[in-house]
A and B are shown apart, each in its own frame.
Chain A
């Protein structure tokens, strides 16, 4: 028996109304969309908002707009994202990422916006209140110490979203709406490398849309490392997107890592390194080494941290080989156990 704490519940009908409610509640209010991240956290008292403002009846959050690019409503469930033809055809990396989140049930509930705003995770934080009290709480909630590295001045909780690395590689933007107005920003700028202040969304803002640019000539991919074929959060996510010249040399590239830091980690150096080169095995291997040098997995989730760093080059390799056009189906079956 796990029960939720008490809270006030509000159900606005529009983004504007939701924004007004959120502004009125201040930091005591939180938005709930799919609830798959928030409700377990609330059951464990990691979050105890006085008011939940539900986005379930808000109009327009499930809109899909095909224009020069593709605009996805933040309220689309991950299943709906996976079922969107344009995503599957043009933004393969996002499709692969969304398809590998959690389990079928949770993809049916969890939303794209929710996955982008996913709370950072940590062994010392994703525990019930009594457990956290037993260790004297941690920096992320009610405590002072980061138990992952007690000398750390910041919280080292890990970014565990699958879709954010994929969308950053695809150069996505997000729209944030508040009672005061709205803004659009590059998804990469939505995140901070800080387990507590991991997101730059202001408390009164609602993430309403994900805007994907038109990406002619680009290909993209996402590779996820986890133990089981479902449920598990990523131990490593590698998203890559690239545009190639007819001769196979890279014109533009973006490689982003997930689950190795408190934010999705764009790899500027590795991406730049690829530009102008053909994706031969040596180039791919070197990009993998560059990527691994940036990855800083922490000992706060599943499995050994050194190993999690050690496998980065392999996964970057899988991603770049898929971009190059290799037939990765067998490897995909081995790693993901499913065709993606």
Chain B
């Protein structure tokens, strides 16, 4: 059974305001406890041994010398974990295969990337653990490696998995391949569409992997007791999903693991997956001591989720009057060492802003000798959209049509048939384009070497399993026990606000708490912009459930029919003058007498939220290009986005600004740099360059609200969309400033300068 709650327009008192976040004081005073802030008496320090090779067969692992080192209490290797058969499970927007999960956390037959863990030790101190790692003798048979997606697709490329045959190709291929899966989406007749076109634009794009770049390295603390119970504290986007994965790979009952989510120092999709957690539990099991594992920044870069790098080809045909007649794309995505890149999502997001009769998208999921990719904010979409929105921009220019006007002419709206399945419901794409066009930014004058770019993004947003409890305490205050992690966006605030709005009480009376896995039923991860949508729906269901129970209680106490009791303005009141009259009861009065009149009251929600509303955004950016160095400076940035309803507008703005900034970093500076040996050369914040405050302009935001009909407050979700458009918008702005189109990300100064010089030569 799935749950949707219809949108109702009503007078709002709390939703839409900007109260202080419940986690605010803890976070500004240093009291908030993040992963690495947890300690237990007697704890050991765990550290992982990581592969120095991009690709090698593990001939043998000898841990005897490490075990003999004083202070070393346990060592685990592949021998301590069971083989896992193929079994798929969803993680955020992506799917995982337990066969691969167990191999990614601890290499089995082969190491598949620089940084791949293949042993872990627990010792009395970090220095002993480190010394122990150096004593582990591993014999490798080094194999040829491949890290580039196009090279990996070649028939003669080194194979990561000799038993992998491309799925989605009929008949089954005769030879194994690094292409794990081929996907196809489409509708209409693309060939006919291109035949109708007056103008065709075709381009190829290449992007490098980038990292989520959360400031808190992964950290966990595990304590396994002799009775087979384990406790785990970890910084995660989904305590229940982590529990499920640990239980599976450790072959434990789910109920025997209790995961307490710590405050989480950024995730962006990168903390959807287990890494050290099962190793820490296994080490704790072996040593009978708590084990703490905190990654170094270098480990974070080498072994946790970057995005895919990709090779993308886009072809677009349009008539002179600006109608797109055909659209085609091929997306070749790096999955990393194991299958499961977001090429599926990218394929669906590529063109879903346009009403297209003829579309064809092919996606290839390709394994390469790099860390297994993880979700990163609208996984895959920014990469596909760099290609599509660049080509859209070029087409608009060729046709002599204003880029926003061109998009409006072809814009998806309510009723548009997507090429991947559903028809779109009420959406706000056109409204974001119109708001962008009306914005002063779009008309502001530009100086020499300055240019303006526009690009747009679409993300599905998701729902899924969500639980919460709303406990009415004896004084009338409420505890909102949540199963969704507040990764950063402020869902504790927005969910409490919806509860207070439902109950008609002061926000201050609702205290949100994130529950551990023993306190609630299964919750999906905070991913796909579902926190405020699905979490909000659950909170509203729980509030309404509590109201229902309170109405029944009032009916019982006041001896009136339950239909005669209405909940209004924080009180139970006669439904109207025609029904039985009784003295209204406040929440506080109800709470006080609750225990004696039938027990304390609580609202619950165990739902599978459905009906997530797609989100659309339009970005405008101004850049200045230094013709002598090729450096690109962002001068001005405006994010326009339909969020359905901004429950807490300041936090929505924060999502829009933060997402856009990550997109700016992606466009200009961020990239994984590998040597010819397949080893990552920039595993640190000095050489992996995320944006700093001095390099960014004011980022303006415009919130558009076209309510999602399937959410009681109209929420769509807002976290993913803002990272989609920036890369393309910046590429378009550079083109507008210089006449040169960039197709290789990042648009670093040497690339830009080379392109400028190339253009100069072509003209000269």
Residues of chain A whose beta carbon lies under 8 Å from any beta carbon of chain B: 1-3, 5-6, 123, 127-128, 130-131, 133-135, 147, 225, 227-233, 302-304, 306-307, 310-311, 314, 334-335, 337-338
Contacts and interface: CB of A to CB of B under 8 A. Distances in A.
A1 B296 contact: yes
Contacts of A227: 669, 689, 748-749
Given A227-B669, A307-B750, A311-B753, 15 more contacts: A1-B36, A1-B126, A1-B294, A130-B50, A227-B749, A228-B694, A232-B689, A303-B748, A303-B749, A304-B750, A306-B750, A307-B630, A311-B628, A311-B629, A334-B624
A135 B679 CA distance: 9
B452 interface: no
Interface in B31-83: 36, 45, 50, 52-53
A310 B756 CA distance: 13
A123 B687 CA distance: 9
A147 B626 CA distance: 33
B578 to A, nearest CB: 69
A5 B131 CA distance: 11
A335 B692 contact: no
B692 A229 contact: yes
- Interface class of chain B by DSSP: loop
A105 to B, nearest CB: 12
Contact of A2 (B114, B296, B675, B695): B296
B53 A310 contact: no
A314 B628 contact: yes
A314 B685 CA distance: 29
A130 B52 contact: yes
Contacts of A231: 685-686, 689, 692
B13 interface: no
Contacts of A123: 681-682, 687
Counting chain B CB atoms within 10 Å of each CB, which of A1, A135, A304, A334 scores highest? A1
Closest 4 CB pairs of A and B: A134-B52, A229-B694, A307-B750, A304-B750
A2 B297 contact: yes
Contacts of A5: 127
Contact of A128 (B298, B675, B677): B298
Given A232-B689, A307-B750, A134 B114 contact: yes
Majority DSSP secondary structure for residues of A touching B: loop
Q: Which of B127, B692, B753, B754 has the most CB of A within 10 A?
A: B692
Contacts of B689: 227-228, 231-232
16 contacts: A3-B127, A123-B681, A127-B681, A127-B683, A128-B296, A130-B50, A131-B298, A134-B52, A228-B691, A229-B695, A232-B689, A233-B686, A311-B628, A311-B629, A335-B629, A337-B694
Interface of B: 36, 45, 50, 52-53, 114, 126-127, 130, 217, 294-298, 624, 626, 628-631, 633, 669, 675, 677, 679, 681-683, 685-687, 689, 691-692, 694-695, 748-750, 753-754
Given A303-B749, A303-B750, A334-B633, A3 B126 contact: yes
A123 B692 CA distance: 22
A134 B53 contact: yes
Nearest to A336: B694
Given A231-B686, A232-B686, A135 B753 contact: no
A232 B686 CA distance: 7
Given A130-B50, A304-B750, A307-B754, A337 B127 contact: no
Contacts of B36: 1
B447 to A, nearest CB: 10
A338 B629 CA distance: 17
Contacts of A306: 750
B669 A314 contact: no
Given A3-B127, A229-B695, A307 B679 contact: no
Contact of A230 (B50, B295, B692): B692
A69 B295 CA distance: 50
A306 B298 CA distance: 29
B686 A225 contact: no
B679 A6 contact: no
B53 A307 contact: no
B52 A133 contact: yes
A131 B674 CA distance: 13
Nearest to B673: A123
A228 B126 contact: no
Given A231-B692, A314-B628, A131 B633 contact: no
Contacts of A225: 629
A110 to B, nearest CB: 14
A307 B753 contact: yes
A134 B217 CA distance: 23
A241 to B, nearest CB: 23
Give the most central of B130, B295, B624: most A CB within 10 Å: B130
